[in-house]
Amino acid sequence: MKSNRNYPLLLAGQFLGALGDNAILAVIVGQLTYLQQSGAITATELRTRNTIYTSLLFVPYVLLAPLAGYLNDRYAKTNWLIGGNALKLAGTAICALSVWYGSTWQGIGYLIVGIGACFYGPAKYGILPEILPRERLVKANGTVELLTLVAILGGAIAGSVMADAFKGRVLISFYIVGGIFTAALLFNLFMTPTAHKPEVRLSSSVSEFGQHLRNLLSSARLCRVLIGTALFWVCGAAIKINFQPWGLEVLHLPDNTQISLLGLWLSVGVMGGSILAGQLHKVGDLRKTQLYGFLLAGMLALLASVNTFHFWRMPVVHAGPLLLVVPVVLLLIATGVTAGLFLIPLNAALQSESDETKLGKTIAVQNLGDNLGMCLAGAYVFGSVKAGLSSSGVFLGLALVVTSLVALMHLTRKKSIN
């Protein structure tokens, strides 16, 4: 029996959970802004800690993905919705210990939040066929994605506002984030429990995942598609990590709220590019992917040039408390558009050309690749900081990485055709 209340409760819990995921990170890294401004840490220390904190969320997705998939297949998915948010709440409480025992506890707590998100992720999508009729699944997936995107943007901005408003009272911010996760947990607790499948075994689940991974990588075209989608997330993670030092050093933005808007403009562009890609390309049409990849690299190079050329700095619009550097806003939107045009045809091709009876495993493999890419992005930024590269240099290096990989993908495609 499918419960009428499960779907709206899922949407409410998912929105609040994703909101909390992003708000707590913004609270954590937002403190770094004021530590640097007060002289408590150097610019290099800010960039290093920013990179480490942001990357902690991706690590569980890489290390625990097969286990998370197995647990969600075997046990009731409602249990893992509850368990995921319970872990996030516990992680927030551990982050709060940093007020008395030092910043290390923030890293430990945020890692636990990441583990909770890792176990929550498969449940939020896997539960949809169990609570909804088949004809509503496409719309439901789209709704979950839309709410997640809104929560990501809203959480990043809300967390940045909290970091600014309570910069001397960070415990209040952790109380608020804890309240968000508590509300998400309560929505999940009110859901009607779904079925469990005791016949599912860990060894067979992991074996099937590994076999499907090998099958996808053995297809030259789908392997390139997976590399392409992972490259998108490499760029997204590296840009996100780099926004704080770039906003402070290059744009001279005064606070975390202003810095968080950089991500908003980029996301607006990605949404626009995603819509445009649907209008310009049919499913499986990847003829322009190389062009979009090179355009993305060009946009990253232009972001690197903002520090060099003065024309990027004017005009500046003061919208109330907000400081909008108009050319930079437009450049970020354009960067997002090219990224969306690059990603969406790849996603569509992967979903349409892989075995439809194993689409769930295909998405799981893609998620593993994407999160591995984000971990590599963190390692790239960390290495760049240690090598003395500026925040603008990080963008330029990323442009070279994108150019090289897109060119390599093109050469391997031509070789496979010949």
| Residue-by-residue DSSP string for 6-24 | HHHHHHHHHHHHHHHHHHH
Over its length of 418 residues, how does the chain's per-residue pLDDT go in tens digits? 455 788 899 999 999 999 999 999 999 999 999 999 889 999 999 999 999 999 998 899 888 877 777 777 777 888 889 999 999 999 999 999 999 998 899 999 999 999 999 888 777 777 777 777 777 776 776 677 778 888 988 999 999 999 999 988 999 999 999 999 999 999 999 988 887 777 766 677 677 778 877 887 888 888 888 899 899 999 999 999 999 999 999 988 888 989 999 998 998 998 888 888 878 878 777 888 889 999 999 999 999 999 888 777 788 887 777 778 889 999 999 999 999 899 888 877 777 776 666 656 677 778 888 889 999 999 999 999 999 999 999 999 999 999 999 998 877 766 655 4
Domain 1-187 class in CATH: mainly alpha
Q: What is the DSSP letter of 97?
A: T
- State residue 235's pLDDT score: 94
Contact between 311 and 327 (Cβ < 8 Å): yes
The predicted structure's pLDDT at residue 396: 96
pLDDT at position 418 is 47
pLDDT score recorded for residue 390: 94
Q: State the virtual CA torsion across 247, 251, 257, 261 in degrees, nearest 10.
A: -80
Q: Look at residue 280 in the predicted model and tell me its pLDDT.
A: 82
Q: Do domains 1-187 and 201-418 have the same CATH topology?
A: yes
Per domain, the residue ranges of the chain are 1-187, 201-418
Secondary structure of residue 317 in the 3-state scheme:
strand
Q: Which fold has domain 201-418?
A: Growth Hormone; Chain: A; (1.20.1250)
217 burial class (0-12, 13-18, 19+ CB within 10 angstroms)? middle
Residue 1's pLDDT is 44
H-helix or E-strand containing 316? strand 316-319
Please tell me the pTM assigned to this model. Answer: 0.85
Q: What is the H or E stretch that residue 214 is in?
A: helix 202-218
Nearest Cα to 67, choosing from 194, 205, 208, 213? 205
| Structure confidence at residue 309 (pLDDT) | 83
Q: Is 104 helix (H, G, I), strand (E, B) or coil?
A: helix
